[in-house]
């Protein structure tokens, strides 16, 4: 059984992180590495697809908070899509919809990135 | 259940507690809340009480009865006074892109009660309590 895995792909100038498995204090270093790699490559449009993300704790949530300021300073953003209710409930509890776009699906999230460019 | 203070043990703790919570009759959403809370408690102990030392002991005990489901997480690392840690103002936290420090906030939000006790000179415990809405005895 996969504990945590990230696949990275690109679509319409948006870098998509497909998260699979659980994101806790043990697995967050993988996510940090993925963000670090994108930022080093100056890729600041980042979509986190949560379709196969089965669990998240505050450690996982903390990774997004660690990078959001840097990403937005470079006119990019971190957006989310395809969240299960289990994961969304934690984001909602922490009031994250205040500052993050959480889209129903990937196409909606990518459309938001494209609309920022206009 | 006893574990060493290593983050790769967190999944086992969650599974252990989730199994017991489910057997106690909580619905899936509540089982998930309880799992996250115990994860946060153990992570805080690993990070703050044990400062990432990997060979220290954490014990997780569950007590159930009269509609009360109580997880007791014991350790003998540094204890702290949670009353000194104010819950974050999330509006301000998010506006300034702060990170870290949300574990305790989540525990308090997800459980009905969270208590911290120092038992003896070395042992400290975190008590995470959830009441079953149907099983609590009527007075």
Helix axes of A85-93 and B28-44: crossing angle, nearest 10 degrees: 60
Mark yes or no for CB contact B32/A61 under 8 Å. no
Q: What is the mean pLDDT of residues A52-62?
A: 94
Q: In order of start, what are the domains of chain B with their CATH numbers? A: 2-131 (3.30.565.10)
Given this model, what pLDDT does residue B103 score? 87
Given this model, what pLDDT does residue A115 score? 87
CA distance B31 to chain A (A): 11
Choose among B7, B35, B94: nearest Cβ to A25: B7
pTM: 0.90
**Is B95 within 8 Å of B113 (Cβ atoms)?**
no
**Which of chain B's residues have a Cβ under 8 Å away from the Cβ of A86?**
29, 32
Residue A118 reports pLDDT greater than 60: no
Residue A90 reports pLDDT greater than 70: yes
Choose among B43, B97, B102: nearest Cβ to A61: B102
Domain assignment present for residue A116? The answer is: no
Number of domains, chain A: 1
Domain containing residue A39: CATH number: 3.30.750.24
Domain assignment present for residue A39? The answer is: yes
Residue span of the structural domain in which A100 resides: 4-110
Which residue numbers in chain B have pLDDT < 50?
Answer: none
Rounded-to-integer distance, Cα A39 and Cα A48, Å: 14
Prediction ipTM score: 0.90
DSSP letter, residue B138: P
Given this model, what pLDDT does residue B121 score? 65
Among A114, A99, A101, CA closest to A65 = A99
Mark yes or no for CB contact B94/A96 under 8 Å. yes
Q: What is the mean pLDDT of residues A75-79?
A: 96
CA distance A107 to chain B (A): 26
């Amino acid at each position: 059984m996969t504990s945590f895995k990230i696949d990275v792909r690109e679509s319409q100038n948006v870098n998509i992180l497909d998260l699979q498995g659980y994101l806790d204090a043990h697995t967050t270093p993988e996510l940090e590495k993925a963000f670090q790699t994108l930022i080093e490559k100056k890729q600041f449009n980042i979509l986190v697809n949560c379709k196969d993300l089965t669990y998240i704790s505050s450690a996982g949530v903390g990774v997004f908070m660690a990078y959001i300021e840097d990403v937005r300073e470079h006119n990019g953003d971190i957006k989310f899509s395809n969240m299960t209710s289990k994961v969304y409930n934690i984001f909602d509890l922490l009031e994250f919809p205040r500052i993050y776009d959480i889209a129903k699906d990937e196409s909606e999230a990518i459309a938001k990135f494209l609309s920022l460019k206009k | 259940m006893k574990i060493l203070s290593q983050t790769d043990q967190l999944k086992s703790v969650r599974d252990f507690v989730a199994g017991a919570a489910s057997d106690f009759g909580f619905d899936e959403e509540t089982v998930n809340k309880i799992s996250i809370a115990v994860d946060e408690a153990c992570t805080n102990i690993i990070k703050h009480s044990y400062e990432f030392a990997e060979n220290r002991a954490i014990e997780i005990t569950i007590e159930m009865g009269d509609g009360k489901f109580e997880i007791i997480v014991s350790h003998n690392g540094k204890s702290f006074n949670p009353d000194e840690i104010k819950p974050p103002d999330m509006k301000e936290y998010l506006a300034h892109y702060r990170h870290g420090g949300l574990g305790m906030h989540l525990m308090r939000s997800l459980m009905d009660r969270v208590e911290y006790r120092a038992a003896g000179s070395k042992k400290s415990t975190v008590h995470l309590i959830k009441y079953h809405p149907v099983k609590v005895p009527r007075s």
